[in-house]
Amino acid sequence: MVQFLGLEYWKKCQEVANADEEFSIKTRMFNATFTYRVTDKDDLPVIYVKFVDGKITEVRELGADEKTDFTLEGPYGIWTQVNKGELDGSNAIMTRQLQFKGNMSAVIRYSKAFLRLFELMQTIPVEY
């Protein structure tokens, strides 16, 4: 068991996603960096994730002055609802419960990949 949205959790996401053929196919040619942030819990790290052509190549804490191509952030309760399958990830983004920042058209092209990532995230045993 890992703490939900802690650094070890995101490293597990990397393992699971990189082992998933469907994720690999859906993220082929996608090269970008992401910030994942919980907006209402200071004890959880802000996470940097790098996607390179079908793989997640780097997961770590975001540096203090570091910028990424995209950001996905929101309250812990919303992240938890998405992870438990109580709230659809794309609906959470469309209704701005999870805030998405960055070039929307670039991500829409890869929306199936990110929905797959939400599905894979749900398979990791976590402590809330």
Q: What is the pLDDT of residues 69-103, one digit of tens each?
A: 999 999 999 999 999 999 999 899 999 999 999 99
Quick one: pLDDT at residue 106? 82
Torsion of the alpha carbons at 3, 57, 79 and 105, rounded to the nearest 10: 180
107 falls in which pLDDT band (50, 70, 90)?
confident
Between CA 5 and CA 46 the distance in angstroms is 9
Q: What is the pLDDT of residues 25-45, one digit of tens each?
A: 999 999 999 999 999 999 999
Q: What CATH number labels 2-120?
A: 3.30.1050.10
Instruction: Break the chain into its structural domains and give their ranges.
Output: 2-120
Within the chain, residue ranges assigned H as helices are 7-18, 21-26, 76-83, 89-94, 104-108, 111-121
Res 13 pLDDT > 90:
yes
Q: What is the CA radius of gyration of the chain?
A: 13
Q: Which residues contact 22 (CB under 8 A, 6 or more apart)?
A: 116
Quick one: pLDDT at residue 127? 97
Query: What is the percent of the chain with per-residue pLDDT over 70, rounded to a whole number?
Result: 100
Between CA 22 and CA 39 the distance in angstroms is 30
Q: Which residues contact 15 (CB under 8 A, 6 or more apart)?
A: none
